[in-house]
Amino acid sequence: MKNVKSKITAILVFLAIVILILIAVRIVRGFFPAASQQDHPQRNGGGQQEGSREAGRSGGERTGTAIRIAPVGPGTIENSVILNGDVLSSSQVSIFPLMAGRLIELRVRDGDRINRGQVVAMVDPSRPGDPFFPSPVTSTVSGVALSVPVNTGDTLQTNSVICVVGNLSDLRVETYVPERFSVTVRRFLPARLSFEAMPGETFAAEIDELSPALDPASRTLRIRLRILPGQDGQMDPRILAGMFATVSLVTNSRVDVPVVPREALINTYGTWIVFVVPEESSIARRREVTLGLESETMVEILTGLEYGEQVVIEGQNFLTDGDPVQIVE
C-alpha cells in the first residue's frame, strides 16, 4: 500500500514539474518575442524580415542640413573709415566796416550774389551835431552772402561783421581723422560722401587739404575734401554749405583678390573658419582661413581658399566637418 502511494506522489510531482516548465517557457517567449521569431523564421516569411531590417537601416541615416553657397571670386576690397563732417565753401570772408557808427542802409540779404568792390552797406560815423558823412562798406571778394547778421539801425564797431561772403561754386567738406588713421591719410585719397537730406545717394570726393600736425587737444588731423563734379561735369546744386556729411574715407584698397561674403566667416577661439562644399559632393568640409582687408560686406582671403570653391554662407553655424548638406538655391 505504501508503494502505491509513493508512486502516485512521484507522478504528481513529475506532472507539476512539467507544468511549471511549460509555464516558464511561455513566459520567456512573452518577454522575448523577437528571439522566438528568429527561432522560427518560417512563421513570418524571409521577405518581411529583410524589409524590417532595411527599414531600420534607413531610419538611422542623417538628413542633410539645408545651406546656401557662394563661390570664392576675384573682387575689389576697400578699407574705409567712417567720419562726420560739415560742408563749407572753399573760401569764406567776413566783411567789416572801415569806421564805427550806425548802420543806415543794408544792401544785401542771405543768398545774394556779391561782386568784388560792390557796396553792401552804408554806415553813418558822425556824432550828434557833426556833419553827416556816410561811409560805404564794400566787399573785398566775389561770392554769395552766406550770412548777414546785422540789421539797419544797429550800432557797429570796426570789428562788427556785416556779412560773410563765400564761394559756393567750389565746396569743401571739413572733418577730423583720429590719430590711429592719420598715417594712411594723404592728398587725393578718394572718399564717398552721403547726406541725410539725400538718403541712398553717394557722392565722390577726394582729400584736397590736410593739416601738417595733429591737434594736441583732440589728437585728430584736420582735413578738407573737395566734392567732385558728377558725370555731367557739374556740381550737384542740392549740396549746400552748412550741410552735415557722412564721410567714408578709403584708407586702403586691393583689386582682383579672392573675397568671400562676411557672413560666411565663423570665429572659433580666435581662429577664422569657413565651410566649403567640394564640387559634385554633398559633404561640408571645415577650412581655416587667414583674413586680409575687410569692407562692410566682403572680406579678403589671404590663405585657405582658392578661386571657384563653394563657401557656405547660410546654415554654416549648424555644421561640423563631414556633415551631409543639402544645397538650397
Closest by CA to 259, choosing from 193, 311, 198, is 311
123 and 228 together in one domain: no
List the CATH number of the domain containing 288: 2.40.420.20
98 and 71 together in one domain: no
51 and 124 together in one domain: no
Cβ neighbors of 233 (< 8 A, separation 6 or more) are none
197 and 264 together in one domain: no
270 and 250 together in one domain: no
Closest by CA to 206, choosing from 176, 172, 245, is 172
Q: Among 192, 226, 254, which residue terminates a domain?
A: 254
List the CATH number of the domain containing 208: 2.40.30.170
Number of domains in the chain: 4
Q: Among 166, 191, 214, which residue terminates a domain?
A: 166
197 and 84 together in one domain: yes
278 and 153 together in one domain: no
**What nine digits make up the cell of 216?**
594736441
Q: Among 227, 254, 281, which residue terminates a domain?
A: 254
pLDDT string in tens for the chain (329-residue length): 556 677 777 787 777 787 878 777 777 665 554 444 444 444 344 444 444 333 334 444 567 889 999 999 999 888 888 999 999 887 889 999 999 999 999 999 998 999 999 999 999 998 877 777 889 999 999 989 989 999 999 999 999 999 999 888 778 999 999 998 898 899 999 899 999 999 999 999 999 999 999 999 999 999 999 998 888 878 888 998 889 999 998 888 889 999 999 999 999 998 999 999 998 889 999 999 999 988 878 999 999 999 999 999 999 999 999 999 999 87
187 and 95 together in one domain: no
Containing domain of residue 122, as a range? Answer: 91-166
84 and 176 together in one domain: yes
159 and 99 together in one domain: yes
160 and 265 together in one domain: no
pLDDT of residue 3: 63
